[in-house]
Chains A and B, each alone.
Chain A
Amino acid sequence: MDGSRRFETRDMTRIVAFAAILAVLGIPGAIPIGGSVPITAQTLGVMLAGAVLGAWRGAAAVVIFLVLVLAGLPLLSGGRGGAGVFAGPSAGYLIGWIFGAFVVGAIVRVGGRPPVWWRTAVGCFVGGALVVYAIGIPVQSAVTGLGLWETITTSAAFLPGDLLKVVAATVITMALWRAYPRAFGNPTRLRRAAS
């Protein structure tokens, strides 16, 4: 809760829970979406991991998830997995998730504070979209051999979907904060940080 890097048992199982949630969000049809908005729910999971668990634990949940993908479990959306995805064009986005979750947590939970809606929205946008692009696009450009600027142009297609995810992550985080504040850590410590 205080940004310390030593994880207690409760932190460990929360990291495990979020790593598993990331996997479940990749199961096709796991999230019922009204209409036909193309949402890969796993980026939403990355934003939520950072916002709920905070920087270090959020990033740890993403690392655990990605290690299992590397180890050969087909946990990415569309049943992808294995070492091959870390050699393909989307490798940078996957690594970007780790730093993305960290930045989301660092902004949303700055100083161990509970979430407020505007900080959650800014954090999810900067961490979940900008940071992921900043690492993903150069790697994609290097792997595919397409120029950096052309890659940026083709990646712009994902921006509307990511903005939707920022909105969804913010709404979900604030709803979770009202419904189950314990999710965000020790209640007394949270109250102290908020005041």
Chain B
Amino acid sequence: MISLYRPGDSLLHRLPAGPKLLVVMALALGVSLAPADPWTLTGAALAVAACYLLAGLGAVEIARQAYKLRWLVLVMVVSQVFFLPALTMAANVVRVVVVILLANLVTLTTRTEQVVDAIERALTPLRRLGVNPSRVALMLSMTITTIPVIAGFATQIREAQRARGVPAAPLAFVVPLLIMALKHSDDLADALTARGID
């Protein structure tokens, strides 16, 4: 599983995941509610760019992240150009791009495991409602290891059907995939029970 994380040793990499997510959520909300004023939004965009540089990600990474948003920008422009004045539309587009780049900064500087750990800790108060944080963490890590297994089933089914000359059809593909995945999950349950995780 290839994560979107970029290894590094900057201040942003070293910050704990939970507080980092909370700060970015607050900042994102601030930008979303900011007035459609060109100066404020330019300032926000420059601040986010500065954070990328601080994280050691450089202009190329900023450009790459922004380029990923090209379809989103296109769709926003096409859907708004007839309804809204040009300045409001531009402000909306910039605001969304800035917020997404800011949120992606967390992903680029935080390991998947760190986020999973932060979520496990954040769930601790929910223990009283019957949520077991360590079980949730177990399910998250089991899912990460199960995805390649089920992707393997998908390849297996596709190749078997191609060999028999079955025409491509979602039904003939998804039903065996579900059965194989559910049988695998029952095996996994037996293995867990055998190891005393119950």
Contact = CB atoms under 8 A, between A and B. Distances in A.
Interface string A1-25: 0000111111011111111110110
B83 A87 contact: no
B186 interface: yes
Contacts of A70: 115
Contacts of B192: 9, 12-13
A172 B171 contact: yes
Contact of A144 (B80, B110, B158): B80
B147 interface: yes
A132 interface: no
Contact of A88 (B72, B107, B158, B170): B72
Contacts of B83: 146-147, 150
Contacts of A30: 151, 154
B46 interface: no
A154 interface: yes
Interface residues of A, number: 66
Contacts of A41: 170
B111 to A, nearest CB: 8
Nearest to A25: B174
A146 B84 contact: yes
Question: What does DSSP make chain B's interface, helix, strand, loop or mixed?
Answer: helix
B14 interface: no
A143 B147 CA distance: 31
Given A48-B178, A86-B103, A144-B92, A73 B112 contact: yes
Given A67-B119, A72-B112, A83-B24, A145 B173 contact: no
B55 interface: no
A15 B139 contact: yes
B184 A31 contact: no
Contacts of A6: 130
Interface stretch (A105-113, A119-127, A173-181): A173-181
Nearest to A154: B79
B41 interface: no
Contacts of A13: 142, 185-186, 188-189, 192
A168 interface: yes
Given A24-B150, A72-B112, A32 B173 contact: yes
A179 B179 contact: yes
B173 to A, nearest CB: 6
Interface in A86-108: 86-89
B167 A34 contact: yes
A108 to B, nearest CB: 15
Interface string B31-54: 010001000000000000000000
B106 interface: yes
A83 B58 CA distance: 20
A64 to B, nearest CB: 6
Contacts of A19: 139, 143, 146
B143 A89 contact: no
Contact of A82 (B36, B104, B142): B104
B80 to A, nearest CB: 5
Contact of A168 (B28, B142, B171): B171
18 contacts: A9-B192, A13-B186, A13-B188, A24-B150, A33-B168, A68-B140, A72-B115, A74-B3, A82-B107, A82-B108, A84-B100, A84-B101, A144-B79, A145-B84, A145-B88, A176-B175, A182-B182, A183-B179
